[in-house]
Amino acid sequence: MRAIIIGAGIAGLAAALRLRQIGWDTLLIERAPQRRGGGYGVSFGGIGYDAAERMGILPALKDKAFVTSELVYHKPGGQRRFSLDRATIAATMGQRSMNILRGDVETVLYGTVRDTVDIRFSTTINAVEQDEHAVHATLSDGTVEHADLLIGADGLHSATRALVFGPEDDYRLDLEHMVAVYMLDKRPAAIAPGTTGTLSQGGRTVAVISVGDGRNVAFFGYRTDRGTPGDDPHKVLPEVYGDMGWVVPEVLAGLATTESVYFDTISQMVLDRWSHGRVVLLGDAAWCVTLFAGYGSALAVGGADLLGTALQNNPGDIRAALTTWEAELRPEVEKKQKLGRRVKGVYAPANPVVLWLSQLPLRLASLDPVRRYMTRRYIKG
Ligand SMILES: Cc1cc2nc3c(=O)[nH]c(=O)nc-3n(C[C@H](O)[C@H](O)[C@H](O)COP(=O)(O)OP(=O)(O)OC[C@H]3O[C@@H](n4cnc5c(N)ncnc54)[C@H](O)[C@@H]3O)c2cc1C
């Protein structure tokens, strides 16, 4: 059996690994000229953690995980408002979860498939046709590839989805926020190594996350109904954040030297079906639960694992496999999409009273008696 996978992000690489494990040949197509590194910190748990264990990559992921020793919430002037210590952060995450750089998840997955999977960089998909026996993909390098299954794992702005399911606008639900992330060449002196500092003010959040090995991520998330994919972060971020104090001027200066900036709308994908004949969508291309749900990488790996199992359990019947897979995964995805939409309402609210209320659970968690209780619960768990 053979699959063509479009996109070598977490979803595509995890699918390549899982399909390899059940004896499929795979061709992985990636638009970028080379593998991306860096990215941003993700919390990786739930079905992704369980799947990673089954797929044999959990130890390698744990080796790259980073621990946040303190999460500090700042006032607009830079003073500390309150903070959570390492044990409290760990208790809120639970035992079977880790913080890891998105690029490091990809590095681990890539390491497991690079010698066994055919990977073509600087290539994309231009056309798809399918019949009873196979799916045929015309690629940008001029070749036409044939396979039993085509997996569109090409992210929020999936070309596979556009070709097979129709225009992105038909499925994109914008959550009225923009997000920007990039690696900082230099950690601001006010952020201690191993910690995260964050400030929310006027509907805007900014954070600096120290992610281990001397690496630091700048994070910006703000409320707007005017953002569009493709906006220029070098122009927009200074306009939106230019009046903020604390370490913000230093972090904005880092825009000039960083290798690449992720800047996009925070949007979900809402599709009635994730497959069409022999074409299936996986990861952000299919559902994109968003960073508000904090579960996209888990669903990408968990979804790839379940897909492999469904294909293995339904030999020779792709449609039955895809139907079983979707029935199993959809409730979890819809639960996380709902969570994402709920969090949108309380994320970086512009009103200071609402902000105070939205931070109340965290403030409580920072109080000594609650902290001691959570630490005990974590250690027991
Ligand atoms: C700021 C931020 C914070 C997040 N935090 C968390 C978190 O805490 N926990 C969590 O679990 N998840 C989190 N997520 C979500 C998570 O990162 C994604 O859901 C996850 O990486 C899965 O992505 P993917 O592989 O489906 O898509 P992507 O990462 O978008 O990968 C798609 C790949 O396809 C390639 N591609 C795109 N178009 C084409 C094309 N036409 N042809 C060929 N290749 C193409 C791209 O270059 C890329 O390599 C966060 C996301 C963001 C943005």
pLDDT tens profile 196-222? 999 999 899 999 999 988 899 999 999
- Distance, CA of 42 to CA of 291 (rounded, Å): 9
CB 326 within 8 A of CB 273: yes
CB 27 within 8 A of CB 173: no
Task: State the pLDDT confidence band at 123, using cuts at 50, 70 and 90.
Answer: very high
Q: What angle do CA 376, 380, 381 make, to 5 degrees?
A: 115
- The CA 10 to ligand 1 mean position distance, Å, reads 7
For residue 318, give both structure tokens: 């792709």
| Side-chain half-sphere exposure of 116, counting CA atoms within 13 A | 16
Within 10 A of 54 (CB to CB), how many other CB atoms are there? Answer: 15
Task: Pick the residue whose CA is nearest to atom 15 on ligand 1.
Answer: 296
What pLDDT sits at residue 93? 83
- Closest residue by Cα to residue 261 from 301, 233, 286: 233
Atom of ligand 1 nearest to the CA of 156: 30
- Distance, CA of 280 to CA of 263 (rounded, Å): 26
- Distance, CA of 316 to CA of 92 (rounded, Å): 44
Ligand 1 pocket check for 109: Cβ under 6 Å: no
What pLDDT sits at residue 50? 98
What pLDDT sits at residue 63? 97
How far, rounded to the nearest angstrom, does the alpha carbon of residue 207 sit from its chain's CA centroid?
17
Which tens digit of pLDDT belongs to each residue from 38-64? 788 999 999 999 999 999 999 999 999
From 30, 47, 281, the mutation candidate for ligand 1 (largest count of ligand atoms within 8 A of CB) is 30
In angstroms, the first-to-last Cα distance of the chain is 43
Task: State the pLDDT confidence band at 302, using cuts at 50, 70 and 90.
Answer: very high
Cβ within 8 Å of residue 185, ≥6 positions away: 254, 257, 258
Domain ranges of the chain: 2-38+50-65+100-172+267-346, 174-265+348-380
Atom of ligand 1 nearest to the CA of 299: 11
Ligand 1 pocket check for 283: Cβ under 6 Å: yes
What pLDDT sits at residue 5? 98
What pLDDT sits at residue 375? 67
Task: Pick the residue whose CA is nearest to atom 3 on ligand 1.
Answer: 291
- Closest residue by Cα to residue 281 from 152, 135, 159, 124: 152
The values of phi and psi at residue 165, to 5°, are -105, -20
**Strands, sheet with 70-74, edge to edge from the N-terminal-most edge strand:** 80-85, 70-74, 195-201, 204-210, 216-223, 172-184, 262-269
CATH class of 174-265+348-380: alpha beta
Amino acid at 166: G
Tell me: pLDDT of 360 over 90. no
Please give the share of the chain, as a percent, with pLDDT higher than 90. 79
Ligand 1 pocket check for 102: Cβ under 6 Å: yes
| DSSP for 210-229, written as a single string | E-STT-EEEEEEEE-SS--T
Task: State the pLDDT confidence band at 227, using cuts at 50, 70 and 90.
Answer: confident
Which tens digit of pLDDT belongs to each residue from 278-296? 999 999 999 999 999 999 9
- Give the residue-averaged pLDDT of 367-371: 76
Ligand 1 pocket check for 124: Cβ under 6 Å: yes
Please give the share of the chain, as a percent, with pLDDT higher than 70. 96
Atom of ligand 1 nearest to the CA of 45: 11
- Distance, CA of 331 to CA of 375 (rounded, Å): 32
Tell me: pLDDT of 15 over 90. yes
Ligand 1 pocket check for 138: Cβ under 6 Å: no
From 175, 209, 297, the mutation candidate for ligand 1 (largest count of ligand atoms within 8 A of CB) is 297
- The CA 277 to ligand 1 mean position distance, Å, reads 24
- The CA 227 to ligand 1 mean position distance, Å, reads 19
- Strand pairing partners for 264? 179
Which tens digit of pLDDT belongs to each residue from 144-186? 999 999 999 999 999 999 999 999 999 999 999 999 999 998 8
- The CA 11 to ligand 1 mean position distance, Å, reads 8
Task: State the pLDDT confidence band at 230, using cuts at 50, 70 and 90.
Answer: confident
CATH 3.50.50.60 fits 2-38+50-65+100-172+267-346, yes or no: yes
- Give the residue-averaged pLDDT of 12-26: 98
What pLDDT sits at residue 374? 66
Atom of ligand 1 nearest to the CA of 179: 1
Task: State the pLDDT confidence band at 379, using cuts at 50, 70 and 90.
Answer: low
- Give the residue-averaged pLDDT of 96-118: 95
Tell me: pLDDT of 372 over 90. no
- Distance, CA of 127 to CA of 285 (rounded, Å): 17
Count helices and strands (H / E) in the chain.
Answer: 13, 18
Higher pLDDT, 257 or 91: 257
- Give the residue-averaged pLDDT of 330-350: 89
Ligand 1 pocket check for 181: Cβ under 6 Å: yes
- The CA 80 to ligand 1 mean position distance, Å, reads 33
- Closest residue by Cα to residue 42 from 102, 130, 1: 102
- The CA 156 to ligand 1 mean position distance, Å, reads 7
